[in-house]
Structure 1
Amino acid sequence: MNLENTLIEALDMKFIEIGEGKVTATMPVNEKTRQPFGYLHGGASVALAETVASVGAAALIDSETEICFGLEINANHIRSKRDGLVTAIANIVHKGKSTQVWEIRIQDEQEKLICLSRCTMAVVPKKSE
């Protein structure tokens, strides 16, 4: 997986685990991920959530013939955070032929819930180029 010049690199996301049906990654809460009032930006949390779901989905498909894309995502921002590190833990809830549904819990260092998200991934055939 090439992370150069991607949102993953720009937001300093780091993968801890990529397993079958589970992905864990971290992201710092810093000047790159805060909103103007000094708190973790909700959009940064959503970017982290969709990233772990996308990587998890990609690990479950036939990458020779299929590709996956985010189809829908929602997020409930439960708690604010000013600094430190957040960890996203994504688990697959549904693995179908054309869709996957992932639940993502983003938590702080004390395992307090920061954001709860659900992401639906579309699995589609690759087009010949």
Structure 2
Amino acid sequence: MSEVPGLDGVLGVEHVELTPEKVVVRFTITDRHLQPFGIPHGGIYCAVHESTASMAGQIWLGTKGVVVGTNNSTDFLRQARNGDTITTTATPIHRGRTQQLWHLDSVNQDGRLIAQGQVRLANLDQEVPPEAVEAMKGNLPG
């Protein structure tokens, strides 16, 4: 578990870089990430992709509204192994008034692509809760 709140904390995700143009996170595959057959569960990548894109989208949108995921498409390209460090990077494809589309790459410590995906976000016209703004500020590296 990491100091990061929520599911990212449970998965051991560390926020490495958080900017409006790119968000980078990393985590290490452990026993808690494995499915019953002893290989990493694909849901890890889906979850990390969605939370990373959501963080990126919210940083870009700021306090103008709240982002929510509306679609997550993740392809699993190569199996990671227990002990591998996975780095996930989110970069924007499209950022508009009502929606955003983010591209995500998850690579292992050797730079080999493990999973790739896209996450679509809706920009909701509602106030960002003050505790969410504080939590977001508290999770920025440095």
Using the size of structure 2 for normalisation, the TM-score is 0.83
Determine helix, strand or coil for the equivalent of 1:62. Answer: helix
Q: CA 1:24–1:127 in 2, change beyond 3 Å: closer, same or farther?
A: closer
In the alignment, which residue of structure 1 is the partner of 2:15?
15
How many percent identity over aligned positions?
22
Determine helix, strand or coil for the equivalent of 2:31. Answer: coil
Aligned Cα RMSD in Å? 1.7
Alignment of 1:56-75 (within 5 A): 56-63=56-63, 65-75=64-74
Query: How far does residue 34 in structure 1 lie from its aligned partner after superposition?
Result: 1.3
Query: How far does residue 62 in structure 1 lie from its aligned partner after superposition?
Result: 3.3
The answer to whether 1:94 aligns with 2:94 is yes
* 1:33-64 deviation per Cα after TM superposition (whole angstroms, max 9, x unaligned): 1111111110011111111100000101132x
Is the 8 Å Cα contact of residues 34 and 82 (structure 1) preserved in structure 2?
A: no
The answer to whether 1:25 aligns with 2:17 is no
* 1:57-110 deviation per Cα after TM superposition (whole angstroms, max 9, x unaligned): 0101132x4100001010110000122211101100101001000000000000
Is the 8 Å Cα contact of residues 38 and 82 (structure 1) preserved in structure 2?
A: no
How far apart, CA to CA, are the structure 1 residues paired with 2:29 and 2:40?
Answer: 6
Is the 8 Å Cα contact of residues 108 and 114 (structure 1) preserved in structure 2?
A: yes
How far apart, CA to CA, are the structure 1 residues paired with 2:106 and 2:128?
Answer: 37
How many residue pairs align between the two structures? 126
Using the size of structure 1 for normalisation, the TM-score is 0.91
How far apart, CA to CA, are the structure 1 residues paired with 2:28 and 2:128?
Answer: 38
Is the 8 Å Cα contact of residues 99 and 120 (structure 2) preserved in structure 1?
A: yes
Determine helix, strand or coil for the equivalent of 1:21. Answer: coil
- The code of the aligned residue for 1:67 comes to V
How far apart, CA to CA, are the structure 1 residues paired with 2:37 and 2:29?
Answer: 13
Alignment of 1:1-129 (within 5 A): 3-4=4-5, 6-63=6-63, 65-83=64-82, 84-126=84-126
Gaps of 5+ in 1: none
Q: Which has the higher helix share?
A: 2
Q: CA 1:108–1:14 in 2, change beyond 3 Å: closer, same or farther?
A: same
